[in-house]
Structure 1
Amino acid sequence: MKKMNIGIGILLLTLVGCSSTEKKQEPLIKLPSVPKQTSVIKTISEEDFRPQSDIIHPSEGGGPEMSESGITEIKLNNIDQVSIAYKTVRNKIAYNGKSKAPFTGIFAAVIGVHKHYTEEYKDGKLNGNKTWYSESGTIGMIEPYKDGKKNGIQKTFYRVTGKIRSKINYENGKVTGLVEWFDKNGDSIYQADLVNGTGPWITYWDNGKIKEKGQLFKGYPNGEWKEFTNEGQLEKIVRYRNGARVFQEWYQ
């Protein structure tokens, strides 16, 4: 009986020792908790309503990337208006979801109950206007298209007064002709005449201070470009060669 007790005691000690050793070799690691992510919808501020160049600020999707809600499909003045979330592009032609017919009508992005952005199509191509709206519902920028390319006068507006902020003429997708900016009183503060996308390019903050300036050559940024803060301080210098960025230096 004593021999059996001694044997059991040795066996228990052995098991305890093994368990202790295993715990030391593989300590318990407590993983940190990961906070749940929440989606944030950003509305467009007045500063975002500035002329856009397809070369300088490319956007293959053709519109803002953001959450849409509030619109599924409606008719306004007998024109189809569909949530931009349903837009699909196949072989450069836009469709309403899985429809086999090229889309004719308006794709719209809505935040809450407010229309934020629209784009007009005919037979699957941009024909009409892209229009951006401010938080209050006033038009911030309107941009005309023909067969998928910018064509006509792009206009931006001051959010509070609704007065014209800039006019830029496009032909076949390139800046051509008069570029003009206005102050909040409606007075012209800058004019330039570009030919086939070539000439000086300037954009302004809503307070009238220069936001960026440089030279375009056949629609491409070329040479030294300067960008400024809304207080007028030099923020960075970028150098381009035929549209390709080759140098960048920050000052702020």
Structure 2
Amino acid sequence: MTDEIKDGPYETYWDNGRLREKGTWKDGELDGPYEEYHENGQLESKGTMKDGEWDGPFVWYQDNGRLRLKGMYKDGDLDGLFEEYHENGQLESKGTIKDGGWCGEWFLDGQTVIYPPCREEV
């Protein structure tokens, strides 16, 4: 291993030659658009990295191409509307995450569950 700081675009590949991930290093941290791929070539995740952490909107897909997760990160933590889907594409859960916890109204496998109200941004 070298002490060289990673900087610039990069890609890694699966043993089968297909793209595994692509992104950009900036001062040794992932920064900017970032994508990961399943071994079969289907997109696995797509979003933005900032200082090595997820930041902003993201999506994750199953290896069959169906949506698995959709939401928002803020400084590496889930923050905002979050959706999760079953393998068959049906909605599994949907709600809001703030300060690391579920808040407000959530849909969980066909049921509505009420959590404490979300804290307002100041």
Q: TM-score range by the shorter chain?
A: 0.5 to 0.7
Note if contact 2:11-2:19 (Cα within 8 Å) is conserved in structure 1: no
Point out the structure with max Rg over C-alpha: 1
**Letter aligned with residue 174 of structure 1:** D
Note if contact 1:109-1:118 (Cα within 8 Å) is conserved in structure 2: no
Residue from 195, 198, 204 that aligns with 2:101: 198
Indicate the residue corresponding to 2:68 in structure 1: 165
Greater relative contact order (Cα < 8 A, sep 6+)? 2
Question: CA offsets, 1:109-166, max 9 Å, x none?
Answer: 4313222233422343211244321222111222421122220123111222x12111
Indicate the residue corresponding to 1:147 in structure 2: 51
Q: Distance in 1 between matches of 2:12 and 2:33?
A: 12
The structure that is helix-richer by fraction is 1
Identity of aligned residues (%): 22
**Structure 2 length normalisation: TM-score?**
0.66
The alpha-carbon deviation at position 173 of structure 1 amounts to: 1.2
Note if contact 2:14-2:39 (Cα within 8 Å) is conserved in structure 1: no
What are the within-5 Å matches in structure 2 for residues 73-84 of structure 1?
none
What are the within-5 Å matches in structure 2 for residues 62-101 of structure 1?
99=4
Indicate the residue corresponding to 1:111 in structure 2: 15
Note if contact 1:108-1:119 (Cα within 8 Å) is conserved in structure 2: no
**Structure 1 length normalisation: TM-score?**
0.35
Q: Which runs of 5+ in 1 are unaligned?
A: 1-87, 89-96, 201-207, 209-252
RMSD: 2.7
Q: How many residues align?
A: 104
Indicate the residue corresponding to 1:125 in structure 2: 29
Q: Which runs of 5+ in 2 are unaligned?
A: 104-108, 110-122
Q: Distance in 1 between matches of 2:91 and 2:48?
A: 22
